[in-house]
Amino acid sequence: MVRTSLLVAVAAVVALVLVLAGDREGDPGRPDADGVVEVVMDRYQFEPDELFVTAESPVTLAFSNRGNNVHTVALGRTVVEEDGLQFGFREELLAGLSPTLVPQRARAGPIGPDEPFRFYVEPGETVRLSVTIPAERVGEWEIGCFNACGAHYRAGLAGLVHVEAPE
């Protein structure tokens, strides 16, 4: 009887450890054990299209472009829209921050403290953005590519970024 209970307890612990390990490594859209969130751009989709990051923790978003078009990734919210065309976000998630970009040449556009942070991802390339998002930006944000006056965004290259409060 005691032995059976012990076996059940051991089996339960093993199952729990497996579940936790699975969560840690394999949860799409969440950082893995190294703090990396993998995102694939396949044609006009982010996969996954919903990302979860924790404020005040260093995170790396790794964008891999498996399509045939170059994309320009923007992070923010409130889309600037005119005549059915989209041009970017009114509010920038990374405003005033100093993210690291690998490779650095992927940085798009003019570089200044008030410029929106954009980066190109060429077909076949992976670009890694590393940053720590401050606690006051906890909330719902978006990612998108606004190339071709928003044609890529309208085609589906749009996703959500949930910035969660530190535990």
Question: What is the edge-to-edge ordering of all strands in the sheet holding 58-65?
Answer: 45-47, 36-42, 58-65, 126-132, 100-102
> Binding string, 127-156, against Cu ion, x = CB under 5 A?
------------------x-x----x----
d(CA 21, CA 91): 36
Nearer Cβ to Cu ion (94/143): 143
Nearer Cβ to Cu ion (44/52): 44
To the nearest whole angstrom, how small is the minimum distance from the Cβ of residue 73 to Cu ion? Answer: 8
Does position 118 interact with Cu ion (CB under 5 A)? The reply is: no
To the nearest whole angstrom, how small is the minimum distance from the Cβ of residue 98 to Cu ion? Answer: 25
Enumerate residues 6+ apart whose C-beta is below 8 A from 39.
46, 47, 48, 51, 61, 62, 63, 64, 159
Q: Which residues bind Cu ion (CB under 5 A)?
A: 71, 145, 147, 152
